[in-house]
A and B are shown apart, each in its own frame.
Chain A
Amino acid sequence: MIEIKSLRKVFGSGPAAITAVDGVSFSVRPGEVLGFLGPNGAGKSTTMKMVTGFLAPTSGTAVVCGHDILGDALAAKRCIGYLPEGAPAYADMTPEGFLGFIADARGLRGEERRSKIGGAVDRLELGDVMRQPIETLSKGFKRRVGLAQAILHDPAVLVMDEPTDGLDPNQKQQVRSLIRAMARPAQSPPKAIVLSTHILEEVDAVCTRAIIIARGRIVSDGTPEEFHARSRRHNAVVLRVRAEGVDVKGELSRLPGVAAVEAIGGERGKPGGFMLVPRDGKPIFHEVARHCQARSWEVDELRSELGRLDEVFRELTRAGGVS
């Protein structure tokens, strides 16, 4: 559906040249929601701008729905829905006029035009604000107008640059469930979706796959589960117990599945506890639970950690940054 072949973008020339994207290749299949992660300035937006045909790559190309973005830009653009960063829209237009323009520009006519606009408006619940100038709308509504514009023609490929950035938690939730629904819509075939973000929870919330990019290069490509597994804390157990006069730390570190025990401070009235890091990421929850039971410790808290995405993210992007 989307095939990106060694895209490179260099801004400027000579000694002042900046390589924003440096040989990025990947492909996205229908039904996949690809999260494009990376620190600010890593080249996420630049890559998306090249895929959607806004920026010409310095070298490499992207093929969207079988159309090369350099060879047949119009055909490629026809099957892409794109939400640029910040959801730009003509501020003095109303959503009605704006979506009408997008439909015209995409060559929709008559009944089809009406039903496609109606569909997008329903989906994003824009009915009440259709006649208000876009500049007077709240941030959440503006974003929804931008999304409506992107999905209007029911594109096979949807590219979104930071779709939830700057929204409040409720609006974020709303946009995420919308994205999930769009990946596998009821009537039309599944879409290939690419979204960029620097919010890690988003990856867990909507993505089926995540690519981490740092300094213009891909440093990691895998499912969110695989990312969690790369965390040192994957399957780690947090334990807070009351056991007077016992060397809890020492006992725990002698358990066969435990690689290390770290003390963690108490918080909000809870006693201090330990984090038990497993050997080779294998689950140790039951082993620890059994031990506590056998020793009749009073357990305040016992939980398994999924793994910290931000930890993995920091590690990967920092490693990629050493040059």
Chain B
Amino acid sequence: MKGTLAVLKRELAGYFATPLAYVFIVIFLVLAGAFTFQIGQLFATGQASLSPFFSFHPWLYLFLIPALSMRLWAEERKSGTLELLMTLPITTAGAVAGKFLAAWLFAGIALGLTFPAWVTVNYLGNPDNGAIVAAYAGSFLMAGSFLAIGSLVSSLTRSQVIAFVVSAVVGFGFLLAGFDPVLDVFRAWAPRTILESVASFSFLTRFESISRGVVELRDVLFFVSLIAACLVATGIAIDTRRA
């Protein structure tokens, strides 16, 4: 626990010690704003709702989160600090959790800084604030899922570029799992049950209802168990691939 906290603190301080944190936050906010107001036409819809804002989050996360997660483990491997970290009295699970939580917290900070959008719709009308809170929570969970996938990919390589590209591609697969481009790959040979379970992994399908403020328990469970599974796999990858 102490170890997890120490790792979390170091990681979080690490984001802000380099320009990474500021570049990431600024780009995230600019893109979130541009998508919402330019493409999402928030004003033109004439509704006091943030669903145009939230509906673009999966696409933002798709390439921004891998930029955050690519360094988690690949950098440690490359610079040799993995050896330092894993010979400190910290368990592998503690280190994996500390790193993940720091990145998730950082993503949460970026997400939290979009609050002016929420202030705006409240100023212009009377949105369903409960739905907005739920959508924020759902978006945060989805960010965590992208991060956990990125953490696993990053633990398998020493190259941050590979970690970025592979995480983005895997994330894209999860995003579109319920749609034809992905399903067509399986349709040719897989039985119907597999097809359905692949479709059930779709982030987009699950987030579609979340972005409207409808958070169902099974969607929460899906994201939470995906995060847990990826983190356990990260721990195994770190433990088995030391040399």
Residues of A within 8 A of B79 (CB): 88, 90-91
Min CB distance A88 to B, Å, is 3
Residues of B within 8 A of A243 (CB): none
Residues of A within 8 A of B18 (CB): 92
B86 at the interface (CB under 8 A from A): yes
- Enumerate 14 A-B pairs (CB-CB under 8 Å) in ascending A order: A54-B86, A84-B83, A84-B84, A84-B87, A88-B80, A92-B18, A93-B13, A93-B17, A97-B13, A101-B6, A101-B9, A101-B10, A106-B88, A107-B89
Contact A77 B88 (CB under 8 A): yes
Q: Name the contact of A105 in the complex, choosing from B3, B13, B242, B243 (C-beta under 8 A).
A: B3
Min CB distance A114 to B, Å, is 16
**Interface of chain B residues 84 through 125 with chain A (CB within 8 A):** 84, 86-91
Contact B10 A90 (CB under 8 A): yes
Contact B7 A105 (CB under 8 A): yes
Q: Contact mask A4-28 → B, CB, 8 Å, 1/0?
A: 0000000100000000000000000
B192 at the interface (CB under 8 A from A): no
**C-alpha gap A97/B243 in the complex (Å):** 28
Contact B9 A104 (CB under 8 A): yes
B137 at the interface (CB under 8 A from A): no
Contact B14 A107 (CB under 8 A): no
**C-alpha gap A133/B14 in the complex (Å):** 11
Interface residues of A, Cβ cutoff 8 Å to B = 11, 49, 52-56, 74-75, 77-78, 80, 82, 84-86, 88-93, 97, 101-102, 104-107, 133, 149
Contact A74 B91 (CB under 8 A): yes
Q: Name the contact of A88 in the complex, choosing from B10, B17, B83 (C-beta under 8 A).
A: B83
Min CB distance A48 to B, Å, is 10
Contact B90 A105 (CB under 8 A): yes
**C-alpha gap A229/B52 in the complex (Å):** 83
Contact B14 A82 (CB under 8 A): no
B195 at the interface (CB under 8 A from A): no
B226 at the interface (CB under 8 A from A): no
Chain B contact surface mostly: helix
Residues of B within 8 A of A54 (CB): 83, 86-87, 242
Of all chain B residues, the one with the shortest Cβ separation from A82 is: B87
**C-alpha gap A300/B141 in the complex (Å):** 84
Looking at B81, B87, B91, which has the most chain A CB atoms within 10 Å of its CB? B87
Min CB distance A209 to B, Å, is 23
Contact B89 A74 (CB under 8 A): yes
B5 at the interface (CB under 8 A from A): yes
Residues of B within 8 A of A106 (CB): 88-89
Residues of B within 8 A of A90 (CB): 10, 14, 79, 81
Min CB distance A230 to B, Å, is 34
Residues of B within 8 A of A11 (CB): 243
Contact B81 A89 (CB under 8 A): yes
Min CB distance A301 to B, Å, is 48
**C-alpha gap A93/B83 in the complex (Å):** 17
Residues of A within 8 A of B3 (CB): 105
**C-alpha gap A248/B5 in the complex (Å):** 76
**C-alpha gap A97/B9 in the complex (Å):** 10
Chain A contact surface mostly: loop
Residues of A within 8 A of B80 (CB): 84-86, 88
Contact A149 B84 (CB under 8 A): yes
Min CB distance A196 to B, Å, is 14
Contact B81 A92 (CB under 8 A): no
B2 at the interface (CB under 8 A from A): yes
9 smallest beta-carbon distances between A and B, as pairs: A88-B80, A104-B6, A105-B6, A77-B89, A101-B10, A84-B83, A52-B87, A105-B88, A78-B89
Contact A93 B14 (CB under 8 A): yes
**C-alpha gap A78/B89 in the complex (Å):** 6
Of all chain B residues, the one with the shortest Cβ separation from A109 is: B2
Residues of B within 8 A of A74 (CB): 89, 91
Contact status of A77 and B9, CB under 8 A, knowing A11-B243, A90-B14 = no
Residues of A within 8 A of B17 (CB): 92-93, 97, 133
**C-alpha gap A75/B91 in the complex (Å):** 11
**C-alpha gap A258/B14 in the complex (Å):** 67
Residues of B within 8 A of A78 (CB): 89
**C-alpha gap A107/B112 in the complex (Å):** 32
Contact B83 A102 (CB under 8 A): no
Residues of A within 8 A of B91 (CB): 74
Q: Beyond A88-B80, A90-B10: 4 further Cβ-contacts under 8 Å?
A: A80-B87, A93-B17, A101-B9, A101-B10
Min CB distance B167 to A, Å, is 22
Residues of B within 8 A of A102 (CB): 88
Contact status of A107 and B2, CB under 8 A, knowing A84-B87, A88-B84, A101-B9 = yes
Contact B10 A55 (CB under 8 A): no
Of all chain B residues, the one with the shortest Cβ separation from A76 is: B89
Of all chain A residues, the one with the shortest Cβ separation from B17 is: A92
Min CB distance B21 to A, Å, is 12
Residues of A within 8 A of B13 (CB): 93, 97
Min CB distance B240 to A, Å, is 9
